Each structure stands twice: as C-alpha cells, then as structure tokens.
Amino acid sequence: MSLVTIVVVFVINFTLFRVLPGDPVRAVIGRNVRISVETQQALREQFGLDKPVFPDQLFDTFGQWAQGNLGVSWSLRRPVSEVLMSKLWNTVLLIGLGQILAIILGVFLGLMAGWKRKTPIDVAALTFSLVAWAIPTFWLGIILLAAGSTWFGLPTAGIVNPENTGKPLITILPDLARHLFLPTLTLTILYLGEYMLIMRSSILEVLSEDYILTARAKGMSNWQVLWRHALRNAMLPIVTLIALNLGFTVSGAIYIETVFSYDGLGKLFQTALTKQDYPLLQGAFILLAVSVIIANMVADILYAVLDPRVKET
C-alpha cells in the first residue's frame, strides 16, 4: 500500500516538473552564454533529454531516484542529494525539538483537561487550543521575533552566529540555543493545542468506558485508575497523530524557517521555488513526501505493537 503511494508520488513529481517550463539545458549553462546548436544537442543527449519523455525518461528518472541520485541543483551547482542532506538535520533539530515539547506539554494538559472536565483548567486549555489553531504560523513567528529581538535581544536570523559556523557542537551550544529559542517556541505553542485537544477527547472517551468503572470498583483511587488504565488506552491515538503531523509540520517549517531565516529544508524549498531550481525543488519534494510516508508506516507498526487488538488481524 505504501509502495503504491510512493510510486504515485514519484509519478506526480515527474509529471509536475516536466510541465514546468524552462529549458533545463539553458539553465545549466547559464543565460548569457551563446552555444552552438551542436553543443546544445550534445548536452541534451548527455542529460537524456532527447529521448521521449514517456516511457524512457520516466523510468530513467525513477531508476535514478531509487538509487538516491536526485540530479544536480542548477543554482548551487551541487548534487541535490548533498544539498538536501546538509540542510536536513537543521530542520530535524528544529521540528524535533518543537514537536517533543508540544507533545509532552500537550499530552499533560490534555490529560488534566479531560480528567477535570469543565473546570477552569479545562476551559482555559480549550480556549487556548481554539485560539492557537486560528493563529497563522508565520504571524506568530513574526510577533515572537519582534518581541524577542526587541525585548530580549534574541537573534533574528540564522542557526548560529556567522563566526560560529563549523565549530564543534559543544562550544556553540549557548549560541545555538539562543537562535533556536524563538522558532522552537513558535512551533511548540502552535502544536501544543492540537495534542491537547486530541489527548483530551481521547481521555474523555476512555473515561466513559466500563472498565474504568471496574477499576474504581476494585478499590483504586482516581490517580491509580488514571495511571494504570486510562493513560495506556488514551495514548494510542496520539501515536497516530504524531505521524500524521509530520506532514503538516513540514509546512509549518517552511513558514517558520522563512520568518526566522533558519537555514533548513523549508527555507531551501522556498528559495528553490523562487529561483526556479527545479531539480532541487523536485528532490526536496520527494524527500518530504517519502519521509511522510515512512512516518506513517512507522506509526502503523507502532500502533500494532501497542494495541494487542490489532495483532489479531
């Protein structure tokens, strides 16, 4: 099933980028250089662009993609895969941090909100989630950027200060932290609400089940019931959500990295778009799509491991 999806994604990718106008040969060579027709033809042959698009070019490209060869970036003159890898970890760091914090806080708050339904803490949590959902990612980023830099002197761009690039991680940790603080905060605030809501509704559903009543009848205190029975069952949907979220977090990354000038995949995607660097764009797209698919697969496996009922089928 996932394989089918990957193939479909590949096909979409391929067609999409073939439709985009722009002569690849020209772009590689540069605009202002005059080249003879023969040289052009030779180049075309070299890139395989003279063969019919379908099926030859299609399968050629697929083969290359499967091997990890994503072509060469036009604007950066480096292999696409190399460019992607260099920026990948920056984004993973940012997203990872933000998501982990959002999950921890969100699950905890959701638990409290569901357990103490209709109390002020529940109302506050619900209101917060509602409003947070309606706030555009980039706008929150801008506000925090303005507030952070004006009132706290936090940096406004980049991952580390320019003089610190390339230094070992340990030494630049404080600088890194200062740069990461605002974007991570933005991410956390925005995703907190969603996890909280899901956890809350999950916990509410679990707490209405008969086995909770049985647990109480056995003589357990509310805390014990929550910890031993409710939590385990309520966490299951969260696992799926985390995986699904990966798809949407990527979008969020694009906005946040743009606002904070954070040099990761999101910003890369945006620049590739504006510069019309199609191989790069294409490669980034494949990477993003495939990682979401993989994340979904992992989520399915995890769920099967955690929920004994699934094993049966």
Partner 1 sequence: MSTQPLLSVRHLTTEFHLADKQVARALEDVSFDVMPGQTIGLVGESGCGKTTTLMSVMRLLPANGRITSGNVYFRGNDLLTLREYEMRLHRWKDMAIIFQGAMNALNPVIKIGDQIREAILLHDLMDHDAADYRVDELLELVGIPRARRGQYPHQYSGGMRQRAMIAMALACSPSLLFADEPTTALDVMIQAQVLELLKEIQKKLGLAIVLVTHDLGVVAEMCDSVVVMYGGKVAEYGSAELVYNQPQHPYTQRLLESFPDLNRSTDPSAGSGQDLATIPGTPPRLNALPPGCRFSPRCYKSVEICTQIAPNLVDMATPGSGARHLAACHLLNGTEIEDL
Partner 2 sequence: MNENWTLFMRNLRDFWRAFRRNKLGLLGGFLVLTAIIVAVCAPLLTPYAPTDVIRDANGRGMTFAPPSVHGPLGTDDAGRDIWSQLVYGARISLTVGFLAGFIAMFVGSLLGTLAGYFGGRVDNLLMRITDVLLVIPDLPLMLVLVATLRQMDLHISPLAVLIAVIGLLYWTSTARLIRSQVLTIKERQFVDRARAIGAGHAHIVRKHILPQIMPLIVANTVLVLSIAILVESGLAFLGLGDPTKPSWGTMLNFAFDRSAVANGAWWFYLPPGFAIVWVTLGCVLLGNVLEEMLNPRLTAHHLEGDQNMIAIPKQRVE
Contact of 57 with 15, CB cutoff 8 Å: no
Start-end of H helices in 116-235: 120-134, 137-152, 173-207, 210-217, 222-225, 231-234
Contact of 284 with 268, CB cutoff 8 Å: yes
Q: Is 84 among the residues that bind partner 2 (CB under 8 A)? A: no
Contact of 237 with 191, CB cutoff 8 Å: no
Quote the CA–CA distance of 89 and 86 in Å, as a whole number. 7
Q: Is 312 among the residues that bind partner 1 (CB under 8 A)? A: yes
Quote the CA–CA distance of 209 and 32 in Å, as a whole number. 72
Give the total residue count for the chain: 313
Select 11 or 173, whichever has its Cβ closest to partner 2. 11
14 binds, options partner 2, partner 1, none, Cβ within 5 to 8 A by partner type: none
Window contacting partner 1 (CB under 8 A); options: 3-11, 20-28, 144-152, 226-234: 226-234
Q: Is 20 among the residues that bind partner 2 (CB under 8 A)? A: yes
Q: Is 213 among the residues that bind partner 2 (CB under 8 A)? A: yes
- For 98, residues 6+ apart whose C-beta sits below 8 A from its C-beta are 183, 184, 186, 187, 188, 191, 249
Tell me the per-residue interface mask from 249 to 288 with partner 1, x by CB under 8 A, - otherwise. ----------------------------------------
Taking CB under 8 A as the criterion, the residue among 54, 89, 108, 133 binding partner 2 is 133
Q: Please state the closest distance from residue 233 (CB atom) to partner 2, in A.
A: 13
270 CB burial (10 A radius; 0-12, 13-18, 19+): middle
Select 138 or 303, whichever has its Cβ closest to partner 1. 303
Q: Is 308 among the residues that bind partner 1 (CB under 8 A)? A: yes
Tell me the per-residue interface mask from 152 to 171 with partner 2, x by CB under 8 A, - otherwise. ----x---------------
Q: How many CB atoms lie within 10 A of CB 260?
A: 29
Q: Is 53 among the residues that bind partner 2 (CB under 8 A)? A: no
Q: Is 205 among the residues that bind partner 2 (CB under 8 A)? A: yes
Q: Is 116 among the residues that bind partner 1 (CB under 8 A)? A: no
Q: Is 216 among the residues that bind partner 1 (CB under 8 A)? A: yes
Residue 156's φ and ψ, nearest 5 degrees, are -105, -5
Q: How many CB atoms lie within 10 A of CB 154?
A: 16
| Residues at the contact surface with partner 2, assessed by CB under 8 A | 1, 4-5, 8-9, 12, 16, 19-22, 115, 117, 130-131, 133-139, 142-143, 145-146, 149-150, 156, 204-205, 207-209, 212-213, 216, 222, 225-226, 230, 244, 247-248, 250-251, 254-255, 258-259, 269-270, 273-274, 276, 281, 284-285, 288-289, 292-293, 296
